[in-house]
Structure formats: C-alpha cells, structure tokens
Structure 1
Amino acid sequence: MDIKNLRNVLEEFHASRLSLDEAVDKLKILPYEDLDFVKIDHHRMIRQGFPEVIFCQGKTAEQVATIMKSLSIHNQNVLATRATADMYSAVKKVVPDAQYYEVAKIIFVKHNTIEPDDERFILVMTAGTSDIPVAEEAAVTAEIMGNKVERVYDVGVAGIHRLFSQQQVIQRANVIIVAAGMEGALVSVVGGMVAKPVIALPTSVGYGASFNGLAALLSMLNSCAAGVSVVNIDNGFGAGRLASIINKMR
C-alpha cells in the first residue's frame, strides 16, 4: 500500500464503486497484518517510501515465504536480506517472479522499476575481494531502491596506487560506501579525498585480532576524516538504505 493506492481506494469509495465494507477490507491492513508469528508493517511504504524489508536470519524458509507473499501482494517492490538458497526456493513457490542474488544473499520482487537519476550515483567500494558480499548487499539494496550504483572493488591501502587510479569516478560520485575489514583504513583515506558523504561499512573479514570486524568498526568510528558516518559490522543493507536516502535528497 502506497500513497497512490491509498488515493485510489478513497476515490473508488467516494465514487461509490467500492462499498464501505470493501473499502474497510482494503484499508484494515494499513497499521499491520497479524500472522501470529509476525506483524507485517504495511504502512511503512507510506511513512518511509519503501516497504518493510525482511531480515531472514533466524527465520525458517516457510516463515520467509509467508511474509514475502503478503508483502508482494500489497507492495510493488519487496526486499529480503540474509536469505539462503533454501529460503529462495520456498519463496519462489508462492511468489513466482521473485529473484535471488546469491552473492548479496538478497531475495527481491520488482513489479515497478524506480527510474534512477543518471546524474547522481552511489559508489560502492571495497578494500579487498573478501569484502564484496557485504558490499553487494549494500549495492543491490541501493539499486532496488531506485539509485544508479557504480562499483570499485579491491582498492585497499596495501596497494594504494589502485585507489588513486580510480580518482575520477570517486570524485563524480554523490555518495560513497566504503566496505573494509582488517584495520578498516580505506575509509579514512577516501574520506580525506572527497567533499561528499562517506558511509563506512566495517566487515568481519580479518585474522584473529580483527575480532570479527570490531577492529575495523573502532577504526572507522575514530576516523580523523570529516564527513564519515559508520554503520554496524556487515550491515550492507543499512549502508545501502542510508546512501539511498542521501542520494535522493534535494
């Protein structure tokens, strides 16, 4: 349910093409739909501009499929993160047009392509190849939400000449997401190169003393580069959503 659909329901009722009971049936799911194990927030599209996103981790494949089916009935585009191939198989049975991006671990349904602004794009960067799955969660999220996204991968500080060779695309970007594990140093370098928002995305990549991304997180929080914000460890979805909001601001 979005603003357009809400208007259509009210106009249909006003024109007597819908009875009061029929209009109530369409509107009663607006606060949320109670399915016992989950309360689906169908009002979120109206409040935030994108439907509720399913976080699949900890859910069964059947639960994910049930939620995905309900959301796809009432929304044009639906997104589920941290999804497995088994979850996708269950979803595909009830939502045939669902698609799966294995690297990003995202299931999505796209009934309406949101046309991006070609003049403004989000750049997603990684320090290493091992950071790509988390970066792809951010990139695919931003793309589904209607943004042009470009990618520059494996340009960490261990071979900093690789980063400097990408200065042209870095300077053209409107928002930058930097995914890095280990010591997370790439974020400070990129943040010191540009006058635009940089979203730091720490990953759990690294050896023992990286503490599953804690070292990168603390390094990014302590960055001396101005204009850097930080999301949680491996939270590619959060980085992609924030970048989308910033990119669409006027």
Structure 2
Amino acid sequence: MKFAVLVFPGSNCDIDCYNAVEDTVAQPVDYVWHTATDLSAYDCIIVPGGFSYGDYLRSGAIARFAPVMSEVRKAAEAGKYVLGICNGFQILTEAGLLPGALMRNTNMKFRCHSSLLEVVNNRTPFTNQYEAGEVIDIPIAHGEGNYYCDDTTLRRLQDNDQIVFRYAEGSNPNGSVADIAGIRNEQGNVVGMMPHPERAVSSVLGSADGARMFASILNAWREQHGAAVNS
C-alpha cells in the first residue's frame, strides 16, 4: 500500500503524518507538493494539518484551489482513501468533498491539548480497529475547529452514520454542533477530523490511540485487495 502526504505552503503536520505512517504500518509514503497533477500511484492520500497558505481568507479556502486538489477529488471518486486532519479537514470541506464548514472556536481561543473522542462509527476504513463507543485520547490543536452544518445536513449525517467521532460528553472544546469531531462522506472512503491521530501513535507522546487509525487503513486496503493482514 502506498501513502501520499500532501504538502501546501504552511503545512506543519506533514512530517508528523509521514513518520506516523512509517512507524505504525511501515508502508511506502511520499511527500507530494501542492502543484502535483497525478496521484494515481497512491492508495491513501493524507491532507495534513497546519496553516495552508497562511489561512488567509479563511482556513483551507485557498488550498482548495491548488492543482493537487483536483487529483484528490479524482482519487476520492475512484474509491481511494482520503484522510483530512485538522487543516486537512478544513480543506476537504472547502473543496466540497465533505459537508459542512469549520468556524472559529466559540471561545475565540486556539486550543492545544489532549482530547477524549467517542468512536461513533467503527465500520469505516479508518476505524475498523476500534470498538464502537470506545473513548480514545487524541490531541487537538486548532483555532477554527467548530464544525457547523445546517439541520438538514446534520440529520443526513446522523441517518447515514457519517459521524465518525464525537468529543466525549462534556468535553467539546470548540462548540461543534452535536459534539462532532470527525465525519465521513456517504461513500465512506473520505474522512475529515479535527483531532490529530498522527500525534498519538506512541505512549511516549501521551497516547498511542491514533496508531490504530493507520492500522485500520492498511487493514481495509488489504481486505479490499485480498491480501493477508500479516503479510
């Protein structure tokens, strides 16, 4: 399985994502610059956190026009896995690959700390190594993580099991509607989340709960391709 980690001007979690793939699943991974026009060689595309294009206008608003994003759309439509983390989640919503929008945290402060998430849907390529309802420890680092969608979209997310993660009860750090921390598209191959699983892949970092997300992706890919999980 081959991973791509996109790099925009202002990305700052690309190295963390690259190292997380190497350390948790030991699969080939490349940095891919925002001007790239071909992602056909990759099975999973990670859109990392940071401040793409300095977050001018609003987070992700400029990055969604980068040449590589048309290739991300093609990959998503082809059923390949796409994971947007923090600023990557913002970019995916701006690009229309996921519904809703990310707004300023309700307290207007940048929040950077450990956060507890409930695994709402463990039947995705990104969460199959977790238990439904399990509470995991994944850190956040964002100023615009307040997920918003209208009531109709929220009902659709709920009815289609598109809510993947919620902040544990009473711990919503940013005001997100319905405590949403991560969602998927209807097809299930695109996930966006504000917390950073790549920063939680070892107990040395305070939590290893994020490692199972990368293991889930590899497991899903191997099942899809008929490969032995331990090969």
- Is TM > 0.5 for Structure 1 vs Structure 2? no
Pair member with larger Rg: 1
User: Which structure has more strand as a fraction of its residues?
Assistant: 2
After TM superposition, the score normalised by the length of structure 1 is 0.36
After TM superposition, the score normalised by the length of structure 2 is 0.38
The higher relative CO (CA closer than 8 Å, separation ≥ 6) is in 2
